[in-house]
Structure 1
């Protein structure tokens, strides 16, 4: 990961995202979600055992994306459309975190039905389910870290669905109810800033975060998240990015992300 940006709802004003962008975003999401589904089925082979050896390797080698888009699950429609807009206007491949977390409940249900359900009693083992849930969440967090590390940019949607409110007027921290957003923003701080297009070797994060969620409907913790390291992408920034990229007449047209870095005065290493 090289750069980390934050986008709010006002950033989309006047961008004229249309049904074509929506369709492209849906296609991207379907493509990458199918890859994720396929890999998860392979790693949890036939509901018989978890293949621990495969967990140590790169999770999704087929996915080659430029941008990792972090968002609330409530904003998934807007995230898909924005991903389509980035694809159509700049030729950028976007991976949204929905591709990983979108099927986690189904995955857990399948595992719990196999490992945790007592057919004689007709109940699930509380102890076994805690065990399987913690392991699945940890494995997917590692997969998430790997995917974020292999993309060049993070773009985070700051909306009332993702960030609840400012903690204090002069604080750099905000509050979120989402453990996944908390984890992604935490990872975005510790992952090394390396421009992936110009590096042959990947640098793996040595950090991991233990998160547990969905204990019950009334369990509603909040997490302090620091977003001060994210670079703001305003509506003017997105329009200027598109204008300068389209206006570039050079034969060796620069990469669209390099155009954005220059506009935001980000030093290219």
Structure 2
């Protein structure tokens, strides 16, 4: 990740010049991939296939821009995304590509966590399915953030509520926004460290060169022709003449 931007949007006039949200070109994963939870055999028993589950719900994406936003600001994110797309940029907006983590949670709970009465759920099972579901999404977000060049946070009264804005603080009630911003900060710090390392390598170029004595007194001093004669390698006269002609013309 190269850059991160804190984009404040306080009024609709701030985005009046942007295209309509419907103009955003999404690439949502097809729902039919998500209807059946993939399983596989492991140690003679059925287990959930985490790789296939991630690929069908939260397949990591590579893009020029990652737009972090509150769900209520989806239209604003799409409008900004549509504008960036019109400039030839690729844009990641999770709700436009991935399935809903809450829908996946419900499918897992209905399929694996119901009690015998089919009306209630086993608490321990629900906790386990919740951890699996959120770990899949967290991992996919991490991979996607690593793959995106730029990070945009839409700073609105939905993501940073009005009371916090007045207090000049940046608290958010969204754990996902909290996670995305923290990862973006970590990636920026890593980029900064890499840049410092690169600059330090460049600074090494000004270090004075060292002279080493190359002992050549036991070597036979020859030119290329003598070398080829000594090695009994015939010289292609025609080729030499052609090359000489070219050099003469030059």
Please report the TM-score for the alignment, with normalisation by the length of structure 2: 0.62
- SS of the residue 1:60 aligns to: coil
Q: Deviations over 1:137-180 (max 9, x none)?
A: 122101101001100000000000001243896x7x52111111
- SS of the residue 1:174 aligns to: coil
Q: Deviations over 1:216-261 (max 9, x none)?
A: xxxxxxxxxxxxxxxxxxxxxxxxxxxxxxxxxxxxxxxxxxxxxx
Alignment size in residue pairs = 182
- SS of the residue 1:34 aligns to: coil
RMSD: 3.3
Structure 1: runs of 5 or more not aligned: 196-269
- Alignment match, 1:163: 160
Answer yes or no: is the 8 Å Cα contact 1:100–1:140 preserved in 2: no
Structure 2: runs of 5 or more not aligned: 41-45, 193-250
Alignment of 1:1-269 (within 5 A): 1-9=1-9, 13=14, 16-19=17-20, 22-25=21-24, 27-28=25-26, 31=27, 33-34=28-29, 44-45=37-38, 49-52=47-50, 60=59, 63-88=61-86, 90-99=87-96, 103-120=100-117, 122-164=119-161, 165-166=163-164, 173-192=169-188, 194=191
Please report the TM-score for the alignment, with normalisation by the length of structure 1: 0.58
Relative to structure 1, the CA distance from residue 122 to residue 60 in structure 2 (aligned partners, 3 Å threshold; closer, same or farther) is closer
Relative to structure 1, the CA distance from residue 15 to residue 121 in structure 2 (aligned partners, 3 Å threshold; closer, same or farther) is closer
Tell me which protein shows more helix as a share of its residues.
Answer: 2
Distance in 2, matches of 1:167 and 1:16, equals 25
1:53 Cα deviation after fit? 5.5
Larger radius of gyration: 2
